[in-house]
Structure 1
Amino acid sequence: MLIAGQTDMQRMDRYTMEQLGLPGVVLMENAGAKVVEELLAASASKQPKVIVLAGGGNNGGDGFVIARRLCDLGVKTLLCLLVAPERISGDAKVHLDVYIKRELPIFYFCEQKREELYNYLERADIIVDALLGTGINGPVREPFRQVISMVNEQADKKLILSVDIPSGLNSDSGKAEGIAVQASETVSFVFPKRGFFLQDGPSYIGEWKAVDISVPPSAAAALGLSLPQLITEQLAKEAVPARPPHGHKGTFGHVLVAGGSRQYVGAPIFSAKSALHSGAGLVTMAVPESIYPLITAQHPEVLFLPLTEKEGRFSEQAVSELAPSLHKFDSVAVGPGMSRFAGGDKWMKGLLDSLHGQPVVIDADALYLIKDELEMLHQYEGEVILTPHPGEMAALLKKTVQEVEEDRLTISRDFAKEHQIYVLLKGHRSVMATPSGEVYVNPHGNSSLGKGGSGDVLTGMIASFLAQGAQPVAALIAASYLHARAGEERAAFLSHYGVMPFDIIEGVCHLLQEMEK
Structure 2
Amino acid sequence: MVVLKAAEIRGLEECAVESGVSMETLMENAGAAVAAYIGEQIEVRGKSAVILCGKGNNGGDGFVIARLLSKAGAKVTVVLMQGAPASALAKQAYDKMHKGIDIMLARAAGKAIDKADLIVDAIFGFSFHGRMPQAMEPVIARANASKALRVSVDLPSGAECDTGAVNGACFRARHTVTFTAMKPACVVYPAAACCGRTVVRQVGIRREFLQLLPYDTASVQLGDLCPLFPKRDPEGHKGTYGRLLMLCGSIGMAGACIMAARGALRAGVGLLNIAVPHALYPVLAPAVPEAVFTLYDPEDTSFPSVLEALERAEACLIGCGLGTAPYAQRLVHTVLERAACPVVLDADALNILSESPEKLLTPHVPVIVTPHPGEMARLSKKLMEDLSADRIRTAREFSAKYRVITVLKGAGTVTAAPDGEVRVNTTGNPGMAKGGSGDVLAGMVGALAAQGMKPFEAAYAAVCIHGAAGDRCAEKLSQHAMLPTDLIEALPAVFREIEGKS
**What interval of TM-score do these two structures reach, taking the shorter chain for normalisation?**
over 0.9
Quick one: distance in 2 between partners of 1:320 and 1:132?
62
Q: Match for 1:434 among 417, 425, 438? A: 417
Cα deviation for residue 73 of structure 1 reads: 2.1
Q: Name the residue aligned to 2:8.
A: 8
* Contact preservation (8 Å) 1:448, 1:497: yes
* Contact preservation (8 Å) 1:240, 1:475: no
Quick one: distance in 2 between partners of 1:134 and 1:446?
26
Quick one: distance in 1 between partners of 2:127 and 2:8?
12
Cα deviation for residue 218 of structure 1 reads: 4.4
Residues 1:233 and 2:203 are matched in the alignment: no
- Aligned partner of 1:187: which letter? V
Cα deviation for residue 142 of structure 1 reads: 4.8
Cα deviation for residue 359 of structure 1 reads: 1.1
Q: Name the residue aligned to 2:450.
A: 467
Alignment of 1:156-195 (within 5 A): 157-195=147-185
Q: Name the residue aligned to 2:50.
A: 51
Q: Name the residue aligned to 2:356.
A: 373
Q: Match for 1:326 among 310, 316, 322? A: 310
Q: Match for 1:135 among 119, 127, 140? A: 127
Quick one: distance in 2 between partners of 1:289 and 1:44?
69
Assess, with a 3 A threshold, how the Cα gap between structure 1 residues 144 and 75 changes in structure 2: closer, same or farther.
same
Alignment of 1:85-96 (within 5 A): 85=84, 87-96=85-94
Q: Match for 1:104 among 74, 83, 100? A: 100
* Contact preservation (8 Å) 1:237, 1:478: no
Per-residue displacement from partner, 1:240-293 (whole Å, max 9, x unpaired)?
A: 354212322111112111110112110111111111111111211112221211
- Aligned partner of 2:52: which letter? L
Number of residue pairs matched by the alignment: 500
Cα deviation for residue 226 of structure 1 reads: 3.8
Secondary structure of the 2:287 match is coil
* Contact preservation (8 Å) 2:243, 2:273: yes
Q: Name the residue aligned to 1:337.
A: 321
Per-residue displacement from partner, 1:311-370 (whole Å, max 9, x unpaired)?
A: xxxx45262331122222221111100011236443322223333x11111111011222
Per-residue displacement from partner, 1:188-220 (whole Å, max 9, x unpaired)?
A: 111222123334212211111121111245435
Secondary structure of the 1:80 match is strand
Secondary structure of the 1:210 match is strand
Q: Match for 2:301 among 297, 312, 317? A: 317
Cα deviation for residue 501 of structure 1 reads: 1.6
Alignment of 1:109-508 (within 5 A): 109-111=105-107, 113=108, 117-154=109-146, 157-216=147-206, 218-219=208-209, 222=212, 226-240=215-229, 242-309=231-298, 315-317=299-301, 319-342=303-326, 344-355=328-339, 357-508=340-491
Quick one: distance in 1 between partners of 2:414 and 2:490?
21
Secondary structure of the 1:204 match is helix
Cα deviation for residue 405 of structure 1 reads: 1.1
* Contact preservation (8 Å) 1:274, 1:458: yes
* Contact preservation (8 Å) 1:448, 1:496: yes
Secondary structure of the 1:488 match is helix
Secondary structure of the 1:297 match is helix
Quick one: distance in 2 between partners of 1:98 and 1:45?
20
Cα deviation for residue 147 of structure 1 reads: 1.2
- Aligned partner of 2:96: which letter? V
* Contact preservation (8 Å) 2:121, 2:151: yes
**Greater Cα shift, 338-347 or 184-193:** 338-347
* Contact preservation (8 Å) 2:429, 2:470: yes
Cα deviation for residue 374 of structure 1 reads: 3.6
Cα deviation for residue 89 of structure 1 reads: 2.9
Assess, with a 3 A threshold, how the Cα gap between structure 1 residues 393 and 164 changes in structure 2: closer, same or farther.
same
**Greater Cα shift, 345-354 or 34-43:** 345-354
Alignment of 1:75-90 (within 5 A): 75-85=74-84, 87-90=85-88
Assess, with a 3 A threshold, how the Cα gap between structure 1 residues 29 and 45 changes in structure 2: closer, same or farther.
closer
Structure 2 length normalisation: TM-score? Answer: 0.94
Task: Give 5+ residue unaligned stretches, structure 1.
Answer: 310-314
- Aligned partner of 2:132: which letter? V
Assess, with a 3 A threshold, how the Cα gap between structure 1 residues 352 and 81 changes in structure 2: closer, same or farther.
closer
**Greater Cα shift, 138-147 or 43-52:** 43-52
RMSD of aligned residue pairs (Cα, Å): 2.0
* Contact preservation (8 Å) 1:53, 1:82: yes
Assess, with a 3 A threshold, how the Cα gap between structure 1 residues 218 and 397 changes in structure 2: closer, same or farther.
farther
Assess, with a 3 A threshold, how the Cα gap between structure 1 residues 284 and 476 changes in structure 2: closer, same or farther.
same
* Contact preservation (8 Å) 2:188, 2:424: no
